[in-house]
Chain A
Amino acid sequence: MKPSNPTGRASLGLKIAVGLVLLFLHFPLLIIILYAFTTEEASFRFPPPGLTTRWIGELVNRADFWNALSLSLAVAAVATTLAIVLGTLLAGAIYRGKFFGRDALTLLVILPIALPGIVTGISLRSAISLTDMGFTFWTIVIGHTTFCIVTVYNNVIARLRRTARSQMEASMDLGASTFQTFRYIVLPNIATALLAGGMLAFALSFDEVIVTTFTAGQQQTLPIWILSQLTRPRDRPVTNVAALFVIAATFIPILIAYRLTQKTGE
């Protein structure tokens, strides 16, 4: 269905429906901006009685917020790095050829996001309990990497499929070694896809809460910190500011990833 030669225009009813659905998708994001600045301390009263920037200062002075933030950043950085390496290797292998179990493998990669998060979560929790290894930084990282591999894999394999195989063949014919071909032909071609996949993996890990609650034990990542804040009505204004901060922090990598993939029309 290409709009290149429009035989008709969208009816007004359809346009209104599209507008309403998009409004439904976006107005909560506006609400969170508004409530980060409300002067109301105890309830979610609308309209807010006044606006203030006071809560930003309060959040900045919260040590537990900074601890949670630094744990989240560390986990996301390590998980993203691991996912980039594993996802790229996997995409390369799947792209290169047919081998026994290839279809099963592609299914296995998407399984961690196709099955509900709680399945991955409780599975890892069972494994931790069976092996008596306890909860550490690495139990969080293992969970996050497992579901981040697929975002890198998806981006890289899509790019590889668009890259002409003949370029690599030409490079090898002209005497380049496998490493040189990777360095000068493959890497420049997949660089933006890698970056986009990495950005999305980072955003996914930074924000993940369902799997993390099962693998973190007593440790608090930023989403777990926010979740624990929800049960403290007195902290509502600070939670609102933290929520705005998280939205802003995940928007940036998503927008960059979107631009990177748009240029190549993926």
Chain B
Amino acid sequence: MAALSLTLTPPTPKPPSLPRRISTFFFRRPNLSLILTLLLPLLWLVVFYIGSLSSLLVNSFFRLDGFTGLIVRQFSLQTYRELASPSNVDIFVRTAVMAATVTVTCAILAFPVAYYMARYANYRIKGLLYLGVLLPLWSSYLVRVYTWKIILAQEGIITWFANLLGLHGLLEALLAVPGIGGPSLSFSFLGMFLVFVYIWLPYMILPINAALERVPKSVLEASADLGARPGYTLRKVILPLAFPGVVAGSIFTFSLTLGDYIIPSVIGNSSFFIGQAVFAQQGTAGNIPLAAAMTVVPIVIMFLYLMVARRLGAFEAL
């Protein structure tokens, strides 16, 4: 009996361990622990990202002294005046036209794939198609651009294929078109356009697919029950519902084309795009103020674009 009464004696409570006390301390102060979790990532983004973006803005109001070649760190609007020179405006227009053309083409090519994935593909095929879209999206950007240098070369596979089909005349006629042609596809706007479409296409397929996946089947059935033919349902029901997805995808295709400088310098001819001009100004010319001011242009364009996209409901489709 004595032994039993011994076991019944309540044990003296151990003092809580240090981790336990720390844990309790933070559990009682949710705001403090939230601040501590946020502190590091917030500091990183604010210091390195917002900090650099601000230094970009600051730099764009400096100017390069034409005689000494040194950057004058005083407020000046001279750099922005240089921005409005005809040759620079040419660069902006050329880049924006290319970005718009690439975006429209991507939308046209992406829609059938996104539509098929959402409407007809079974679980297995859908998985494979996702992988088929994601793999090019994530694999090496630079190597994929380089591959097109190989494909578009004068002695490359496209010329070989055109000869095989007896279409050599057509290819030469295309290259002879002023403005978009050139000595070979790998030194022409046409070739550059192909590569831009190829590189950014997955960014368009995924948001359109996401928008289409959300269309309820009952809506399509209702349309059919009310007597609409498939083509009419596509135009009047599916396309309008897919449109926010198209806009969401276009944010990527437009923005990425606007700022790219690798593709125009690897594939293109000697006419500059915004990205190349920025790169050349900060590098060989040492004119960081002008490079910074030039970058403000795509930022402003993208800002306006995002405002319109938001109106069109693209943010819900991202």
Contacts and interface: CB of A to CB of B under 8 A. Distances in A.
Is A bound to B?
yes
Contacts, number: 263
A108 B44 contact: no
Contacts of B45: 108-109, 146, 149
Interface residues of A, number: 90
Interface in A92-135: 92-93, 96-97, 99, 105, 108-109, 111-112, 114-120, 122-127, 129-130
Contacts of B213: 1
Given A44-B150, A116-B258, A179-B19, A86 B40 contact: yes
Given A47-B160, A210-B262, A239-B146, A115 B299 contact: yes
A119 to B, nearest CB: 6
B260 A93 contact: no
B313 interface: no
Nearest to B197: A24
B113 A116 contact: no
B34 A99 contact: yes
Contacts of B151: 28, 31
B16 to A, nearest CB: 9
Q: In which size bucket is the chain B interface? A: 35 or more
A264 interface: no
A24 B262 CA distance: 20
B255 A115 contact: yes
Main secondary structure of the interface of A (DSSP, over half): helix
A220 B230 CA distance: 55
Contacts of B262: 209-210, 227
Contacts of B59: 126, 129-130
A25 B116 contact: no
B148 interface: yes
A209 to B, nearest CB: 5
Nearest to A236: B150
A122 B291 CA distance: 8
Main secondary structure of the interface of B (DSSP, over half): helix
Contacts of A119: 53, 56, 259, 295, 298-299
Find the residue from B41, B51, B120, B144 having the highest chain A CB count within 10 A: B41
Contacts of B148: 28
Given A87-B41, A146-B45, A254-B138, A1 B34 contact: no
A178 B279 CA distance: 49
B142 to A, nearest CB: 5
A49 to B, nearest CB: 11
Contacts of B198: 24-25, 28
A5 B119 CA distance: 10
Interface of A: 1-3, 5-10, 14-15, 17-18, 21-22, 24-26, 28-29, 31-32, 35, 43-47, 85-87, 89-90, 92-93, 96-97, 99, 105, 108-109, 111-112, 114-120, 122-127, 129-130, 142, 145-146, 149, 172, 177-180, 200, 203-204, 207, 209-210, 213-214, 223, 226-227, 230, 239-240, 243, 246-247, 250-251, 254-255, 258, 262
Given A24-B109, A250-B139, 6 more contacts: A32-B143, A116-B255, A116-B258, A118-B295, A209-B142, A226-B143
24 contacts: A1-B118, A1-B212, A7-B221, A10-B120, A25-B133, A32-B150, A46-B156, A46-B159, A90-B41, A99-B34, A115-B255, A115-B302, A116-B298, A119-B295, A122-B56, A124-B52, A127-B56, A129-B59, A177-B23, A179-B22, A214-B282, A227-B142, A230-B149, A246-B140
Q: Which 8 A-B pairs have the closest CB atoms?
A: A116-B259, A177-B23, A123-B52, A44-B153, A17-B112, A90-B41, A127-B52, A28-B147
Interface of B: 19-20, 22-24, 26-27, 30, 34, 37-38, 40-42, 44-45, 48-53, 55-56, 58-59, 71, 109-110, 112-113, 115-116, 118-122, 127, 129, 131-136, 138-144, 146-151, 153, 155-157, 159-160, 198, 201-202, 212-213, 215-217, 220-221, 224, 230, 251-252, 255-256, 258-262, 266, 274-275, 278-279, 282, 288, 291-292, 295, 298-299, 302
